[in-house]
Amino acid sequence: MMDKQALWDKCVAFHGHGCGGLTIGFQAARYAMELLELDFSRDEDVVCISENDACGVDAIQVLLGCSAGKGNLLFHLRGKQAFSFYNRKTGKSVRLVLRPTPEGLDKEERFRYLQDAEPADLFDVKPAVLELPEKARMFQSYPCDGCGEVTAEHLLRLENGKKLCLDCFRAYNRFDV
């Protein structure tokens, strides 16, 4: 396993710069690795559900191998610096929620605080509240009868016997007209 600085350098190289947001994800991923005995996931053994789509998610991708394309990085957007991690091999999970940082810190001081703190001092450890999602499935794709663009079947809708993508489908709701 690489040392902390080498791991941080990999995250910065992927993200493009070092910042407080990247540090939050870096510390969350390191803590999850410790708590759930995780390592880089080449498949879907490690799952992360992030409650934000901010900088920290990049560190989680680098350290844990979670990615949207693989289906093991999911977003449940709530605007919180909170991450649920799941270990499919052991069935263990945890939700890490960033505690408030001390008030009165400028940007550089906050960055140093996040960098220097132990992950256990930064996050509340809670039970994961969302069920472990099923593994990613493969779906057939069909052309949309509206625009002609090929669309995965689980995202097609039927309207008057036509298969329509979400962009072409006109939702039916008599109360929000």
Summarize pLDDT for 72-115 with one digit per residue, the tens. 999 999 999 999 999 999 999 999 999 999 999 999 999 999 99
| Distance between CA atoms of residues 119 and 32, nearest Å | 9
pTM: 0.86
Where in the sequence of the chain do the CATH 3.30.60 domains occur? 138-177
CATH 3.30.1330.130 domain locations along the chain: 4-126
Q: What is the CATH number of domain 4-126?
A: 3.30.1330.130
**Cα–Cα dist 54/85, whole Å:** 17
CATH assignment, 138-177? 3.30.60
136 confidence band (pLDDT: 50, 70, 90): confident
Rounded Cα distance between 145 and 147, Å, is 6
**For the chain, what is the mean pLDDT?**
95
